[in-house]
């Protein structure tokens, strides 16, 4: 994977860094796995704006991604690696031997033509294979991890992320998450071997404000330039800095913990994430 720095032939391209898309093999998605994606523009059913800074953007179609990997012990061939406008990672099209096609989050290093398998009883420790955490050896780099059995992957799914299996203890395993948090997860939960693709995503530079509009993001107003009626940090004579950093609802920012101390899953967190 690589990135390209464009020649500054326009002001918007002077600092722009784009993805090389070396891993992408086709620009035509699988029609049977596409779904319409309706956008609200941040409005509710009465047409009132309930979320600010959302609206516009290029039309997208949703790619139906298989986060459960629940076709067990049936080999699948990787048909293509594709771009997905709905996420930072690339996706891979699999065709199973029974004829079914599914998209999965593409792991780093996956190539077209490779064979993948998902199994409850364990599978070869190769990039892209999925199996329960109990069947994966210590120290393995994993991604697309389930939090609850049969729920579908919901941890370590974005571009370049990965978790690491640290220990096993009874029905739980200890994994280190991308945030730096170490937590216990049930050993029956599925995970994919390997890190997520498109690790260069963090190096990209949009170059101009208009690209944010293409992505459906409207300009964000800074709190300190608002009036006191609009935000706790607004008001003041001249260029006042705005006092203690806090949200529009008055909740302090920069270090204030908002997680409930009574949350039942607190007992599964071994070590908190890094600040």
Residue 93 has pLDDT above 70, yes or no: yes
- For the domain 3-202, what is the CATH code? 2.40.50.140
For 212, the enclosing helix (H) or strand (E) is helix 209-214
Domain positions in the chain: 3-202, 226-269
What number is the average pLDDT over the span 118-140?
Answer: 95
How many helices (H) and strands (E) in the chain? 1, 17
Q: How far apart are CA 14 and CA 259, in angstroms?
A: 42
User: Residue 126's closest CA among 201, 72, 137, 244?
Assistant: 137
Residue 1 has pLDDT above 80, yes or no: no
Q: Contact 130/190 with Cβ under 8 angstroms?
A: yes
Residue 275 has pLDDT above 70, yes or no: no
Q: How far apart are CA 68 and CA 88, in angstroms?
A: 19
Q: Take residue 98 and report the two structure tokens written for it.
A: 């029974």
DSSP per-residue string spanning 85-145 = TTSSS-EEEEEETTS-EEEEEPBTT--TT-EE-B-TT---S-TT-EEEGGGSPTT-EEESE
What number is the average pLDDT over the span 181-194?
Answer: 97
Torsion over CA: 219, 220, 225, 229 (sign): positive
User: Residue 43's closest CA among 54, 28, 30?
Assistant: 54
Tracing tokens 């600040």 back to the chain, one arrives at 275
Residue 19 has pLDDT above 90, yes or no: yes
Predicted confidence band at 9 (pLDDT cuts at 50, 70, 90)? very high
Query: Does the model's pTM come out above 0.85?
Result: yes
User: What's residue 28's pLDDT?
Assistant: 95
226-269: which CATH topology? Ribosomal protein L2; domain 3 (4.10.950)
What number is the average pLDDT over the span 173-190?
Answer: 96
Q: What does pLDDT average to over the chain?
A: 95
Max CA separation in the chain (angstroms): 70
User: What's residue 270's pLDDT?
Assistant: 94
236-264 pLDDT, tens digit each: 998 888 889 999 999 999 989 899 999 99
Q: How far apart are CA 103 and CA 64, in angstroms?
A: 7
């Amino acid at each position: 994977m690589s990135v390209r720095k464009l020649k500054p032939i326009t002001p918007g391209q002077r600092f722009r860094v784009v993805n090389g898309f070396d891993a992408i093999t086709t620009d035509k998605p699988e029609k049977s796995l596409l779904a319409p994606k309706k956008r609200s523009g941040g409005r509710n059913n009465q047409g009132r704006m309930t979320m600010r800074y959302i609206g516009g953007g290029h039309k997208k179609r949703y790619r139906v991604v298989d986060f459960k990997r629940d076709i067990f012990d049936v080999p699948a061939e990787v048909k293509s690696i594709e771009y997905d406008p709905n996420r930072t990672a690339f996706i891979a099209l699999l065709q199973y031997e029974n004829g079914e096609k599914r998209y999965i989050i593409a792991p780093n290093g996956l190539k077209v033509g490779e064979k993948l398998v998902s199994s409850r009883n364990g599978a070869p420790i190769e990039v892209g294979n999925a199996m329960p955490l109990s069947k994966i050896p210590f120290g393995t780099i994993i991604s697309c991890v389930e939090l609850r059995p049969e729920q579908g992957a919901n941890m370590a799914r974005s571009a370049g992320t990965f978790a690491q299996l640290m220990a096993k203890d009874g029905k739980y395993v200890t994994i280190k998450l991308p945030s730096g948090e170490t937590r216990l997860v049930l050993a029956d939960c599925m995970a994919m071997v390997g890190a997520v693709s498109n690790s260069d995503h963090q190096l990209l530079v949009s170059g101009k404000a208009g690209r944010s509009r293409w992505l459906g993001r409207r300009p964000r107003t800074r709190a300190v330039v608002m009036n006191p009626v609009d935000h706790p940090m607004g008001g003041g004579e001249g260029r006042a800095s705005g006092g203690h950093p806090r949200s529009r609802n008055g909740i302090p920012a920069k270090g204030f913990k908002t997680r409930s101390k009574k949350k039942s899953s607190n007992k599964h967190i071994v070590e908190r994430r890094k600040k």
